[in-house]
Amino acid sequence: MELSIEILIKRSLKLYMKYGIRSVSMDDVAHELSVSKKTLYQMVKDKTDLVDQCIMLISEMTDMSGFCMDPKMNVIEKHIFIYKHITRMLSEINPSFEFDLKKYYPEQHLLFIKNRRQHIYDKMRIDLKQGIEEGYFREDINIDKLTILNIIRIESFKETDIFEIYDVKIIDLLDELFNYHLHGIATSKGIEEYMKLTKDKN
């Protein structure tokens, strides 16, 4: 099968996310795709170009993630869906990926962070506003401040070494954080819906 640029970027991104960027050479990418380095360099100028295109793909994938949700979902269901998406993403990405990106590709890292923050900010503001209108979230919450606070919370999980000090799994902490977050912003109607949905999942 002929190698396309789309396959090259997707497979390269998968390698970077699994092993980190620095540890994956262009030789590794060529071997993974069963092509020669000559073929590889006919499609991308160099590793920086490949990393650039991988970051663009992440941005596209992030933008498309919202379209996977059922439009009939209420805001509590959306919150649970997004939480599952974030926890899956954090569990699949090697911490070295963002560390390498920040250290060796600072321009790409800035773009990566900017796109991720903007996506979370836009989606969360819409959901919080919807939740208030539907009566699931309290009317007195500050949407802008709460949105920024949640971005900080999400990013802090990748910046701490606490998981190396204490015997705790990131997924367990995220479960508690999400539960804490939802109980803090939800009305009695919202909590009732949340308990019903989580009970159905168990």
Name the packing angle between helices 75-92 and 106-134 (round to 10°): 160
User: Does a structural domain hold residue 106?
Assistant: yes
User: Does a structural domain hold residue 19?
Assistant: no
**pLDDT tier, 102 (very low <50, low <70, confident <90, very high otherwise):** very high
Domain that holds residue 184: 69-201
Residue 170 has pLDDT above 90, yes or no: no
DSSP string, 75-128: HHHHHHHHHHHHHHHHHHS-HHHHHHHHHH-HHHHHHHHHHHHHHHHHHHHHHH
Residue 67 has pLDDT above 60, yes or no: no
Residue 58 has pLDDT above 80, yes or no: yes
**Which has the higher per-residue pLDDT, 166 or 47?**
47
CA–CA dist 14, 8 (Å, integer): 10
Provide mean pLDDT across the span 158-171.
71
User: Does a structural domain hold residue 34?
Assistant: no
CA–CA dist 178, 31 (Å, integer): 41
User: Does a structural domain hold residue 75?
Assistant: yes
| Tokens linked to 109 | 């890292």
User: Does a structural domain hold residue 73?
Assistant: yes
**Which residues, 6+ apart, have CB-to-CB distance to 102 below 8 Å?**
109
How far is CA 135 from its chain centroid? 28
CATH number of the domain residue 96 falls in: 1.10.357
User: Does a structural domain hold residue 54?
Assistant: no
User: Does a structural domain hold residue 180?
Assistant: yes
**Which has the higher per-residue pLDDT, 158 or 38?**
38
Residue 21 has pLDDT above 80, yes or no: yes
- With CA atoms as reference, report the closest residue to 87 among 157, 21, 151: 157
| pLDDT tens digits for range 112-144 | 999 888 988 998 899 999 999 999 999 999 999
- Of 84-98, 109-123, 176-190, the poorest mean pLDDT is in 84-98
- What is the number of structural domains in the chain? 1
CA–CA dist 106, 114 (Å, integer): 12
| pLDDT tens digits for range 41-50 | 999 999 999 9
User: Does a structural domain hold residue 120?
Assistant: yes
Residue 68 has pLDDT above 80, yes or no: no
